[in-house]
Chain A
Amino acid sequence: MRKRFWAILAIWAGMLVLSACIGRYFLSPAEILEILLGNPPTKTAASVFWSIRFPRVVLTAVSGGALALAGMVFQTVFANPLVSPDVLGVTSGCSVGAVFALLFLPGWMMPFCAFAAGIFVVMFALWLASFVRHNRVLGLVLAGIVVGSASSAVLMLLKFLADPERQLASIEYWLMGSFQNVSGWEQTAAVTVLTLPAALLLYGSRFRIKLLSLGDEQAQSLGIRPGLVRLLAVGCSTVLVAAVVSAAGVVSWIGLLAPHILRLCGEKDITKSIGGCFFTGGILLMAADLCARALSTVEIPVSIFTSLFGAVFLCGLLLRTEKQKGGQG
């Protein structure tokens, strides 16, 4: 288990270096080392690295980790490996906030609106779920479907109201997710500041979150307050997702893919694999962002690649399962 974690960390570090090197302005590892040591080869190289490349790479690493962590927590809390962090409608809520800001407010307010709307939607879903007392997990899933559907309706209305020539394209582009607009450290710092405490809280609560998968009664009989732990887990995961979506738009699949990759490697236990999951998410999103900015002269939305990774992975999983069943039969 420990060996696997170090292997993931090594791949993560390799991907970080690769992402920092590759781009429209290529920087060799030696140049990066010189820049880090305060002896840049050229002013342009230093400027590209510190103002554009490195903040973006750090943001994608943190964002991927945050989405993966949220995915793993949701899958454990709901005891369902097919649940994604969006089960409570956080992404659709963030999208409504961001699109509203794109249409009616100054541009700098977009991340704040997206974050606020995402949190509001999840709080509303939690409030709605509190009415279903006999089966709290079912209540959360149903509430998520309700708010997700209402958010989609509002989103469609906003798209309908948007100017098709000036605004609709930017809305659609935002909904496909991109780190293109990252320059300087502001967004990276904002996402990291929001992500770090939430991730640490989840790390500290990992064993209690694991107990939730036994069901509320079993968890309580082992000494935890299931309602409180679930609220903490869902709340922190929501903060993680909302922080990423408000900075980069809708980044799909990472929350589902990263925990599944670890499961395939035999890491099913959140208490043992939470760190590995964070770094796996970072690797996936850095790889997707690298493809997004390096495969073409124009920047391609990152969700195209994350969705493609997801489709390929699930296809492989499907064929593997079928092969195993065939072998058994």
Chain B
Amino acid sequence: MGLSVENLSVSLAGKKILDQVSFALPEEGIFFLLGPNGAGKSTLLRAICGLIPADSGNICWNAQPISKLSPQEIAKQIGYLPQNIQSVEMTAEEFAMLGAAPYLKWGEVPCELHRRQAEAALELLGISHLAKRQLNRMSGGERQLTALARALVQNAPLLLLDEPTASLDVKRQQDFLQTLQKVVKRGQKAALLSVHDPNLALTYGDRVLVLRNGKIKLLSASPNFGEQLCQILKPLYGDNFTLSADGYFYWKTERRL
């Protein structure tokens, strides 16, 4: 059970992005997806939630093949947050209420219950004060948090987040991931995040996936997690990429001061 990807190949504009990728993740936990720019992280996340078709392979969530589900059924199982949240003329509360979409029949619109769910999600993420603010007047980081609130209203057991920390400051990154940890534990959810900072993966990840040249490597948290990850990442980032004695990744470079 959980997420299982078998021999997944995806091409975009004739170029093979993912080549026979296989991995499995459990139903609960935070999982990180690392890889250099252009490695196919976003493509993998989009393929998992059925936004782009696969050339071949199987993707199953809790033994249900994703390709056999309608978009509405997928949305009940998988909440997807893209890298850039489009700026639209809506308040944060209205935007979060859109998470009710998979549960609404034709002709229905979100109601008071969904407004309360949105309020609760915004409060959980510590952004209640933004509830009435227009999305197009928010910073990128605030928009990401609002989008996470929408995913909470969507109440899907699997969350796919494409570089959610990219536009957050260092403090906000930690806050975001700690909140996500709470959400995942409380709702018994699984969250797969693509990030660039391996330290975040090392600190918060239950498992880490590294994507390179269309192939994937999976690592589980263990006592020598950092060293194993460093061995995998070194060929991608070069010899200057190092793990410190106290277990943090850093970049060896000459300091000016």
With most chain B CB atoms within 10 A of its CB, the pick from A214, A218, A221 is A221
Are B89 and A211 neighbours in the complex by a CB distance under 8 Å?
Answer: no
Are B101 and A205 neighbours in the complex by a CB distance under 8 Å?
Answer: no
B88's nearest neighbour on chain A, judged by CB, is A213
Give B146 Cβ to nearest chain A Cβ, in Å.
Answer: 12
CA gap between A222 and B85 in the complex, in Å: 14
Are A204 and B107 neighbours in the complex by a CB distance under 8 Å?
Answer: yes
Mask of A214-242 contacts with B, CB within 8 angstroms, 1/0: 11011011111100000000000000000
* A271 on the B face (CB < 8 A): yes
Give A3 Cβ to nearest chain B Cβ, in Å.
Answer: 18
Are B82 and A222 neighbours in the complex by a CB distance under 8 Å?
Answer: no
**Which chain A residues lie closer than 8 Å to B99 at the CB level?**
222
**Which chain A residues lie closer than 8 Å to B108 at the CB level?**
207
Are B109 and A222 neighbours in the complex by a CB distance under 8 Å?
Answer: no
Are A223 and B76 neighbours in the complex by a CB distance under 8 Å?
Answer: yes
Interface positions, chain B 98-116, Cβ under 8 Å from A, are 98-99, 101-102, 104, 106-110
Are B71 and A223 neighbours in the complex by a CB distance under 8 Å?
Answer: yes
**Which chain A residues lie closer than 8 Å to B80 at the CB level?**
217, 221
Interface positions, chain A 264-295, Cβ under 8 Å from B, are 268-269, 271
Are A271 and B109 neighbours in the complex by a CB distance under 8 Å?
Answer: yes
Are A220 and B106 neighbours in the complex by a CB distance under 8 Å?
Answer: no
* B46 on the A face (CB < 8 A): yes
Are A220 and B88 neighbours in the complex by a CB distance under 8 Å?
Answer: no
Are B90 and A269 neighbours in the complex by a CB distance under 8 Å?
Answer: yes
* B74 on the A face (CB < 8 A): yes
CA gap between A237 and B50 in the complex, in Å: 29
Are A218 and B101 neighbours in the complex by a CB distance under 8 Å?
Answer: no
The answer to whether residues A221 and B49 also contact, given A79-B88, A215-B86 and a CB cut-off of 8 A, is yes
The answer to whether residues A211 and B88 also contact, given A220-B51, A221-B49, A223-B75 and a CB cut-off of 8 A, is no
Are A222 and B94 neighbours in the complex by a CB distance under 8 Å?
Answer: no
* B154 on the A face (CB < 8 A): yes
Are A222 and B154 neighbours in the complex by a CB distance under 8 Å?
Answer: yes
Give A307 Cβ to nearest chain B Cβ, in Å.
Answer: 27
Are A204 and B106 neighbours in the complex by a CB distance under 8 Å?
Answer: yes
* B228 on the A face (CB < 8 A): no
* A53 on the B face (CB < 8 A): no
Give B161 Cβ to nearest chain A Cβ, in Å.
Answer: 12
Are B72 and A205 neighbours in the complex by a CB distance under 8 Å?
Answer: no
Give A71 Cβ to nearest chain B Cβ, in Å.
Answer: 16
* A206 on the B face (CB < 8 A): yes
Which of A203, A207, A217 touches B101 (beta carbons < 8 Å)?
Answer: A207
CA gap between A211 and B108 in the complex, in Å: 13
Are A214 and B98 neighbours in the complex by a CB distance under 8 Å?
Answer: yes
The answer to whether residues A220 and B86 also contact, given A204-B107, A211-B98 and a CB cut-off of 8 A, is no
Are A217 and B71 neighbours in the complex by a CB distance under 8 Å?
Answer: no
Give B2 Cβ to nearest chain A Cβ, in Å.
Answer: 20
**Which chain A residues lie closer than 8 Å to B94 at the CB level?**
269
Give A327 Cβ to nearest chain B Cβ, in Å.
Answer: 17
CA gap between A211 and B75 in the complex, in Å: 13
**Which chain A residues lie closer than 8 Å to B70 at the CB level?**
223
A134's nearest neighbour on chain B, judged by CB, is B13
Give A240 Cβ to nearest chain B Cβ, in Å.
Answer: 19
CA gap between A217 and B88 in the complex, in Å: 14
B134's nearest neighbour on chain A, judged by CB, is A268
Are B71 and A225 neighbours in the complex by a CB distance under 8 Å?
Answer: yes
Are A222 and B51 neighbours in the complex by a CB distance under 8 Å?
Answer: no
CA gap between A269 and B134 in the complex, in Å: 12
Give A268 Cβ to nearest chain B Cβ, in Å.
Answer: 5
CA gap between A33 and B109 in the complex, in Å: 39
**Which chain B residues lie closer than 8 Å to A204 at the CB level?**
106-107
Are B101 and A211 neighbours in the complex by a CB distance under 8 Å?
Answer: yes
**Which chain B residues lie closer than 8 Å to A220 at the CB level?**
50-51, 71
Are A217 and B75 neighbours in the complex by a CB distance under 8 Å?
Answer: no
Give A316 Cβ to nearest chain B Cβ, in Å.
Answer: 21
CA gap between A210 and B109 in the complex, in Å: 10
With most chain B CB atoms within 10 A of its CB, the pick from A205, A206, A217 is A217
Give A225 Cβ to nearest chain B Cβ, in Å.
Answer: 6
**Which chain A residues lie closer than 8 Å to B104 at the CB level?**
207
Are A223 and B72 neighbours in the complex by a CB distance under 8 Å?
Answer: yes
With most chain B CB atoms within 10 A of its CB, the pick from A203, A217, A223 is A223
The answer to whether residues A207 and B109 also contact, given A222-B98, A222-B101 and a CB cut-off of 8 A, is yes
With most chain A CB atoms within 10 A of its CB, the pick from B73, B99, B109 is B109
Mask of B32-57 contacts with A, CB within 8 angstroms, 1/0: 00000000000000100111000000
A226's nearest neighbour on chain B, judged by CB, is B71
Closest 9 CB pairs of A and B: A223-B75, A223-B102, A223-B72, A222-B101, A221-B80, A204-B107, A271-B109, A207-B109, A215-B86
A residues with CB within 8 A of B: 79, 203-208, 211, 213-215, 217-218, 220-225, 268-269, 271
B residues with CB within 8 A of A: 46, 49-51, 70-76, 78-80, 82, 86, 88-90, 94, 98-99, 101-102, 104, 106-110, 154
A sample of 21 cross-chain residue pairs with beta-carbon separation below 8 angstroms, ordered by A number, consists of: A203-B107, A206-B109, A207-B104, A207-B108, A208-B106, A213-B88, A217-B46, A217-B51, A220-B50, A221-B78, A223-B71, A223-B72, A223-B73, A223-B74, A223-B76, A224-B71, A224-B72, A224-B101, A225-B71, A269-B90, A269-B94
